[in-house]
Amino acid sequence: MIWLAAAFFATALLYASVGYGGGSTYNALLALAGVDYRLLPTLALACNIVVVSGSVVRFARAGLLPWRGAVLLTGIAAPAALLGGLTPLDERTFMTLLGVALILTALTMALPSSREDGEAGRLGRWVPLAAAPIGYLAGLVGIGGGIFLAPLLHIVRWKPAREIAATASIFILVNSIFGLAGQLMKGGTDRLGSAITLGLPLLVAVAIGGQIGSLLASRFLHPAWIRALTAALTLWVGVRLLLG
């Protein structure tokens, strides 16, 4: 458990520095540790909420949240995330979906982030159509979905880069809350108790790591290195799950 808590701490620190929650990597680490697959989404989503809450507050205080667009996207995605959390899955199906989601996550992290602050292209108006599928996947396998949303927003030049990061943060937070609610409704109190017993040290680790990441990591670690390292880990675990 010590190595797992340390890994969660490092993950939270790195992801918080770039505005993400880290749900995909939490899932990967839990899968490597052999944790009961039914607990993976609950633990990953809870850790997401702890980490990304600080990022949302930071972006809001800086006036970087484009509220109208962010509320639209999260409002569409959140009910789908709840539905995803409620969807029952057997272990093989869950692990397959998680493996695919991790590989997709790694691929999206490999996409270059736009640095242009120009107006949104014509495709930007169609972005809300992607919100519901992303939300459903988020609730289903225990990720926030921002890792999929942000590259899409960059591709269509939806907003300036910092506003996209802010939007991804609130998207992750809301989806994680709704997805977690669905997972708890599906699993009942017994699963909640098991998740709390196992997850309390992990939640403490990500709370500390997330705060440090928000304050310090972005000053010392280049986002490109963070993306490359986490993408490599996520891709490796995703392929391992699909082959295993």
**CA dist., res. 149 & res. 167, Å (int):** 9
Fill in the amino acid letter for 176: S
Average pLDDT over every residue of 91-114: 82
Which distant-in-sequence residues (6+ apart) come within 8 Å of 117 by Cβ?
A: 160, 161
Q: pLDDT digits over 139-189, tens only? A: 999 999 988 898 888 888 888 878 888 899 999 999 999 999 999 999 877
Q: What percent of the chain stands above pLDDT 90?
A: 39
- Pick from 118, 116, 123, 106: which is nearest to 28 by CA? 106
Q: Answer whether 228's CB lies under 8 Å from 18's CB.
A: no
Which distant-in-sequence residues (6+ apart) come within 8 Å of 231 by Cβ?
A: 105, 106, 107, 109, 110
The pLDDT of residue 118: 47
Number of domains the chain contains: 1
The pLDDT of residue 216: 63
Segments forming the whole domain that contains residue 173: 2-243
Fill in the amino acid letter for 147: I
pLDDT surpasses 90 at 19: no
Confidence of residue 112 (pLDDT cuts 50, 70, 90): low
**CA dist., res. 227 & res. 113, Å (int):** 11
The pLDDT of residue 73: 95
**CA dist., res. 96 & res. 244, Å (int):** 10
Confidence of residue 50 (pLDDT cuts 50, 70, 90): very high
- Please provide the average confidence, as pLDDT, over all residues in the chain: 85
Which of 36-40, 72-76, 211-215, 226-230 reaches the highest mean pLDDT?
A: 72-76
- More confident position, 17 or 199: 199
Q: pLDDT digits over 181-222, tens only? A: 999 999 877 777 788 788 899 999 999 998 887 776 545 556
Provide the Cα torsion 130, 131, 132, 138; round to 10°.
Answer: 110
